[in-house]
Amino acid sequence: MSVHDVFPEQYHQQLDAKIQRIQSEFAKFEPPTLETFESEKSHYRQRAEFKIWHEGDASNYAMYAKDEYKKPYTITSFPIGSKKLNELMADLLPKINSSEILRRKLFQVEFLCSKSGDSLITMIYHKPLGEEWQEEATALQALLKTSIIGRSKKQKIILDRDFVNETLGISGREYHYQQVEASFTQPNAGVCEKMVSWALDCTKETQGDLIELYCGNGNFTIPLATQFDKVLATEISKTSVKSAQENCRRNNIDNIQIARMSAEEFTEAMDGVRKFRRLKDIELEDYDLKTVFVDPPRAGLDKATEEMVTRFENILYVSCNPTTLKGNLEHICKTHKISRFALFDQFPYTDHVECGVWLERR
């Protein structure tokens, strides 16, 4: 998406087109009425990355048009970015341009902000970062009142911390999260709150325990844990597992166990194909697993996991790719029916759509 494609006055027209497309693509599954969750029209995105375009004595933020990655265009603002993100963009650039140490061989800047006002800037270089850079970056960090990280090949310098603190309002309660730099977080915090609230509403009448695959930093896991006796969650990223454990502590949640393994590995464990040392302290037999929650990457569920989830009474599936969701439902809907169906407009002004499906055994 280009910033030139942002037309807030056309937001509902574009959203209506997405709704019609999703309703048409999923009609064969005979889902109930589609529940639609809108985004704010501007200032909704909490993270962004920009190339730095050097021309003469000036450096600017740059983006690329779709399919034209050798033709950058410079920008001065980012209307879909949060107000905090735009403030940092405006304050940072003059400081870069006034310092040869900060500017030289800087090729990318990444911003990570939170709805609660916290922020972090990552500056990525094609040069080693030495003491002079650290001194100037430390002064800049104090001036901008943000955290700064410097990166170059085989080098990562954390001047303060490598995460932001976020507070999300979900179903009338506040949840507190550590969101780590370079790890996955939902970019649209307002829609994220709606997604998690919807998931809570779907599962409010369920019985038994929950298994969650792809739990990330516990974004969904922690609120969902308030509705189940026990939760078993899996995640392959060490950083995300550590962050999820920290977020359990922050929210005083003690009924979650997290296993560092992929969905494919957990499926093998459930099928008895392999034994994993990472499950040595977890007795699967101690869980009354009736509900499974999956939020997979764009590739969707692999065939073995697709089959495994059909063993559960209830399936909650949040998808960032309707095409792979539709492919998975071809199999899942042989045993389960769609009881609720949702569209989350996580990325306005693009073709991208996120969907949520709540399925119950036929």
Q: Is 192 a residue of the active site?
A: no
- Judge whether 320 counts as a catalytic residue: yes
Considering the candidates 113, 320, 333, 355, report the single residue annotated as catalytic: 320
Q: Which of 166, 215, 354, 355 is catalytic?
A: 354
In order of 22, 125, 149, 206, the CA distances from 360 in angstroms are 21, 50, 46, 10
Task: Cite the active site residues.
Answer: 320, 354
